[in-house]
Structure 1
Amino acid sequence: MVNIVYIATSLDGYIADKDNQMGWLHEVPNPGGSDFGFSAFMKRVDALLMGRRTFEKVVGFECEWPYSKPVFVLSNSMSDVPEGYEDKVTLVRGDLKKVVAELNDQGYKELYIDGGLTVQNFLKEDLIDEMIITTIPVILGGGIPLFGELSQPLKFRHVESERVADLLVKNRKALQDSP
């Protein structure tokens, strides 16, 4: 059972700018049309667990639904899935440890955890086993940070780094006591 963060940040650690926008991610030159390893990562995971705000952001993208894996939306405020997404997402709520245990019991052993607040809350509960963070060479100077306050430090070990498109650096870190 592994909970994995796969995300991009600015040099100063933000996942969205001051206006909660992510257009700066699309400014990265990509002449070959690479997905920078995202498809390979998605083959590894069994399901996605994302926060409500991230779900709303994805729904606002001008594209078809981007996920072929089951998507669970963590929300204590949503009571229904928006029309047109009933067959794409399942709402979950409650204590994070219980939510993860229930998903694991359903056979979802490798979960992709997505969304700033969701990642922060998982880290607070020491529920993140691995992080794959791609750093984009831009300083936003503010916005939505990837990391928040913790009651105690969490120690990760470096697993690998990859230089991507001569511009980005993808770092993989695992919790120190993880395989």
Structure 2
Amino acid sequence: MSFHAAVFIAVSLDGFIAREDGSIDWLTERGEQAGDTGYDEFVATVDTMVMGRATYEKVLTFGTWPYEGKQVEVLSTTLPADVDERIIVHRTLDGLVETLNDRGAQRIYVDGGRLIQTFLRAGLLNELTITTAPVLLGRGLPLFGDLDGEIELNHNATRTLKAGFVQSDYTVRR
């Protein structure tokens, strides 16, 4: 693996990235209160965005395409290959990884709960930045689902943001 894979994501205090229906209204309603989370700075460091179908479809609801100038790869077994000229659709993780390596991807942003879990299980993830919002959803789509075993992390830093948001950085131990 020649690329460095990073996550930058927000979760509720009880570990959910979205409501059961995929809605992130709980975050968009509060997100600006957190102030500068470093997201724009983070995105400026990546050359490739990698996401699953559900995340891609959520991004389409934002109105403006937020990844102009970035290579965008989507892992999906259901999206048509020619669904959007701004993205490349991959059917398998192996095919995605092969493309990333062949293209010389350096630093990739892995987004979406299921894809993050897939990258973790495959040993492809290097770092995580997790911003915790001060809200309990009770149920929803978890950031971390079932994993095959423990994944050891090194804690690098924790910052307190505005409005009760907390952000922590971790690297995956190898």
**Which residue number in structure 2 is paired with residue 93 of structure 1?**
91
Give the deviation of 1:150 after TM superposition: 1.4
Q: How has the CA–CA distance of structure 1 residues 54 and 153 changed in structure 2, closer, same or farther, with 3 Å as cutoff? A: same
**Which residue number in structure 2 is paired with residue 8 of structure 1?**
10
Q: 2:147 aligns with which of 135, 150, 153?
A: 150
Preserved contact between residue 8 and residue 111 of structure 2 (Cα < 8 Å) = yes
Q: How has the CA–CA distance of structure 1 residues 170 and 81 changed in structure 2, closer, same or farther, with 3 Å as cutoff? A: farther
Q: TM-score, normalised by structure 1?
A: 0.88
1: CA distance between counterparts of 2:172 and 2:59? 28
Amino acid at match of 2:20: K
**Which residue number in structure 2 is paired with residue 64 of structure 1?**
64
1: CA distance between counterparts of 2:95 and 2:127? 19
2: CA distance between counterparts of 1:71 and 1:172? 24
SS in 2 for 1:55: helix
Give the deviation of 1:12 after TM superposition: 0.4
Matches for 1:1-179 after TM superposition, within 5 Å: 1-28=3-30, 30=32, 34-61=35-62, 63-68=63-68, 69-82=70-83, 85-86=84-85, 88-94=86-92, 96-177=93-174
Q: How has the CA–CA distance of structure 1 residues 8 and 104 changed in structure 2, closer, same or farther, with 3 Å as cutoff? A: same
1: CA distance between counterparts of 2:120 and 2:51? 14
Preserved contact between residue 30 and residue 165 of structure 1 (Cα < 8 Å) = no
Superposed CA offset, 1:70-105 (max 9, x none): 1111111122343xx31x2111221x2442242122
Preserved contact between residue 75 and residue 91 of structure 1 (Cα < 8 Å) = yes
Amino acid at match of 1:74: L
Unaligned runs of 5+ in 1: none
Preserved contact between residue 126 and residue 154 of structure 1 (Cα < 8 Å) = no
Q: Percent identity?
A: 39
